């Protein structure tokens, strides 16, 4: 596997670490537990990491030095594609020399930067390339907020190359298949839809005592209604939508006993946590909002259990892992009707979907659940059963089936030359 721009071992919720980290780490873990040996290549970001991290049996993370450890933004990483690819080639060469390593059977790249490296290595090693985009430039630009910086045309061109050249494109939902066909002229029969999972052993519904303890730990009033946001602090994820919706709710009813948790760190060159602190202050709701740094999964459970509702106001999500984790923890979700969120959230059963990002519409949806205890509690109970249909072991098993199919099909030795009428 290749995950160049972010390590699966990084803390999700800030910088470039998010749902993709969760996806890569968990699929790799469960593939490894099914007997598939997995190496995940990522760019080294600090010298103390070491080159090889043994995560568990059959799973290693390989840190490749490509450019300076710190100070490179995601937008600058294309300058290190050659160095990163060269580092992988050198690592494999050394592995062959020291242990008789016979090479990889297949490459699975994640995100377009990794895909460019995977495309090169696929042709060098003559093995299949499976690619997962996670997000697409054309789709992000189509759904971006007015203040978001558009994705570059260079990225879109690179994604088009991967759509044209990968052996299989793995996506989370049928909506992503339609996006690939609509925006990139993908061949639908080259796309495999495999839903992500969630850790239902970790994310579990809390008892009344768990909720009480969770609120105590977080310093939240016991009898308040609590809405939580978990994710990176960037316009595309929509924390500003939630803050404005809460302000609208409190303007309608200043005595409403409502508290908000915002858990995450800034993401993007221009993003800062202060801009969200300032927004809450300017809206007059800073005394109702608690900002928390990103938390590991073991601590996120506490936030989900402490909340009455988890809000996911993103402008697009390929699936919505936060929504699934919240539901597994027994908390209903109010989410934007975009991307894979209508799959992740069973509308009217485990949460509500909102069209658009108008704060007044979000205030209406939040109020509908906050003021109807019976429906909210029922949705929380149904959410647990809904989340149980999604597991990482099933995701990994379906990925393994795709790997077997593409390995059986084989890779043409001289891809592209025959189509151009050239001699091998």
pLDDT averaged per 10 residues in sequence order, the chain, 424 residues: 93 72 94 97 91 97 94 89 97 94 96 97 96 93 78 95 97 94 95 94 85 90 95 93 98 96 84 92 96 91 95 92 95 95 95 97 98 97 95 94 93 47 36
**Are 230 and 182 contained in the same domain?**
no
- Say whether 19 counts as a known binding-site residue: yes
Judgement on whether residues 156 and 216 belong to the same structural domain of the protein:
no
Number of domains in the chain: 2
Q: Domain limits at 295?
A: 208-387
Give the span between the Cα atoms of 334 and 317, in whole angstroms. Answer: 14
Residue 422 lies inside a defined structural domain of this protein: no
The CA-based angle 315-320-321, given to 5 degrees, is 145
Q: Is 305 annotated as a binding residue?
A: yes
Binding residue per annotation — 360? no
b/e code 166-182 from CB counts within 10 Å (16+ = b): bbbbbbbbebbbebbee
- CATH code, domain with 79: 3.40.50.2000
DSSP state letter for 337: S
In a domain, 114, yes or no: yes
User: Can you give the pLDDT at residue 420?
Assistant: 36
Question: Is 410 annotated for ligand binding?
Answer: no
* Confidence (pLDDT) at 70: 86
Q: Are residues 282 and 346 in the same domain?
A: yes
326 and 228 assigned to the same domain: yes
- Strand residues in 270-424 grouped as ranges (E): 289-292, 309-312, 333-336, 351-354
The answer to whether residue 13 is domain-embedded is no
- For 33, phi then psi, to 5°, come to -70, -20
11 is in an annotated binding site: yes
Q: Per the annotation, does 398 bind a ligand?
A: no
272 falls within a domain: yes
Q: Are residues 361 and 307 in the same domain?
A: yes
Beta-ladder partners of 225:
258
Separation of alpha carbons 392 and 319, rounded Å: 14
Residues 190 and 302 in one domain: no
Q: How many angstroms separate the CA atoms of 338 and 304, rounded?
A: 22
Closest CA to 27 of 192, 169, 199: 199
Only one residue has tokens 């160049």, namely 4
Nearest in space to 88 (alpha carbons), one of 56, 54, 55, 124: 124
Distance CA 43, CA 38 (A): 17
17 annotated to bind ligand: yes
> Are residues 132 and 243 part of one domain?
no
Q: What is the CA radius of gyration of the chain?
A: 22
295 annotated to a ligand binding site: yes
Q: Annotated binding residue at 365?
A: no
* Dist. CA 314–CA 394, nearest whole Å: 26
Query: Is the domain of 125 the same as that of 219?
Result: no
Is 93 assigned to a binding site? Answer: no
Is 12 a member of any domain?
A: no
Confirm whether residue 12 is marked as ligand binding: yes
Torsion from C-alpha of 344, 347, 351, 355, nearest 10 degrees: 90
Same domain, 161 and 250: no
45 appears as a binding residue in the annotation: no
Helix (H, G, I), strand (E, B) or coil at 193: strand
Q: List own/partner pairs for 154-163 with CB under 8 A and 24 or more apart.
A: 154/78, 155/112, 158/112, 158/115, 158/116, 159/112, 159/115, 159/133, 159/184, 160/184, 161/116, 161/119, 162/109, 162/112, 162/115, 162/116, 162/119, 162/131, 162/133
Please check whether residue 202 lies inside any domain of the structure.
no
- Is 155 among the annotated ligand-binding positions? yes
Is 74 within any annotated ligand binding site?
yes
Contacts 24+ apart (CB under 8 A), 323-326: 323/351, 324/196, 324/197, 324/198, 324/387, 324/390, 325/198, 325/199, 325/203, 325/230, 325/297, 325/300, 325/387, 326/203, 326/228, 326/230, 326/383
Our CA angle for 374, 380, 384, nearest 5°, is: 145
On whether residue 415 sits in a domain, the answer given is no
The rounded distance, in Å, linking the Cα atoms of 162 and 119 is 7
Q: What is the pLDDT of residue 140?
A: 87
Q: Is 20 annotated as a binding residue?
A: yes
* Integer Cα distance of 82 and 355 in angstroms: 42
Instruction: Say if CB 362 and CB 249 are below 8 A apart.
Output: no
- Both 218 and 70 in one domain: the answer is no
Q: Does 234 belong to an annotated binding site?
A: no
209 is in an annotated binding site: no
216 is in an annotated binding site: no
Q: Is residue 9 part of a domain?
A: no
If asked whether residues 121 and 232 sit together in one domain, one would say no
Annotated binding-site residue? 215: no
Same domain, 273 and 142: no
Residue 364 labelled as part of a binding site:
no
Report the pLDDT value the prediction gives residue 11, as an integer from 0 to 100.
77
């Amino acid at each position: 596997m290749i995950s160049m721009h972010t390590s699966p071992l990084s803390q999700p919720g800030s910088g470039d670490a998010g749902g993709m980290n969760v996806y890569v780490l968990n699929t790799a873990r469960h593939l490894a537990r099914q007997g598939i040996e997995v190496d995940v290549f990522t760019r080294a970001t600090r010298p103390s990491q070491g080159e090889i991290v043994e995560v568990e049996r059959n799973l290693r993370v390989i840190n490749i030095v490509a450019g300076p450890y710190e100070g490179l933004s995601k937008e600058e990483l294309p300058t290190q594609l050659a160095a990163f690819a060269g580092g992988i080639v050198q690592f494999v060469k050394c592995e062959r020399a020291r242990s008789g390593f016979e090479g990889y059977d297949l490459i699975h790249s994640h995100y377009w930067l990794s895909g460019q490296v995977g495309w090169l290595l696929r042709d060098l090693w003559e093995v299949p390339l499976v690619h997962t985009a996670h997000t697409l430039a054309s789709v992000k630009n189509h759904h971006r907020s007015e203040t978001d910086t558009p994705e570059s045309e260079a990225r879109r061109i690179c994604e088009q190359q991967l759509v044209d050249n990968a052996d299989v494109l793995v996506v989370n939902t049928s909506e992503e298949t339609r996006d690939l066909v609509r925006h990139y002229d993908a061949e639908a029969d080259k796309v495999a839809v495999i839903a992500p999972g969630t850790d239902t052993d970790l994310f579990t519904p809390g008892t009344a005592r768990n909720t009480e303890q969770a609120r105590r730990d977080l310093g939240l009033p016991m009898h308040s209604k609590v809405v939580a946001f978990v994710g990176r602090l960037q316009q595309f994820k929509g924390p500003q939508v939630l803050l404005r919706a809460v302000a609208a709710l409190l303007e309608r009813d200043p005595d409403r006993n409502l508290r908000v948790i915002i858990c995450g760190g800034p993401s993007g060159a221009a993003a800062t946590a202060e801009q969200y602190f300032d927004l809450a202050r300017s809206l007059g709701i800073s005394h109702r909002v608690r900002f928390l740094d990103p938390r590991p999964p073991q601590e996120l459970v506490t936030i989900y259990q402490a909340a009455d509702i988890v809000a996911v106001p993103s402008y697009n999500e390929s699936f919505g892992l936060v929504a699934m984790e919240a539901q597994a923890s027994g908390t209903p979700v109010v989410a934007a009707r975009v991307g894979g969120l209508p799959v992740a959230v069973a509308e009217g059963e485990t949460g509500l979907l909102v069209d658009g990002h108008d704060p007044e519409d979000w205030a209406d949806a939040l109020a509908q659940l906050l003021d109807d205890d019976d429906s909210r509690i029922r949705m929380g109970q149904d959410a647990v059963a809904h989340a149980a249909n999604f597991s990482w072991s099933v995701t990994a098993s379906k990925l393994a089936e795709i790997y077997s199919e593409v390995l059986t099909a084989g890779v043409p030795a001289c891809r592209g030359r025959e189509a151009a009428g050239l001699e091998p």
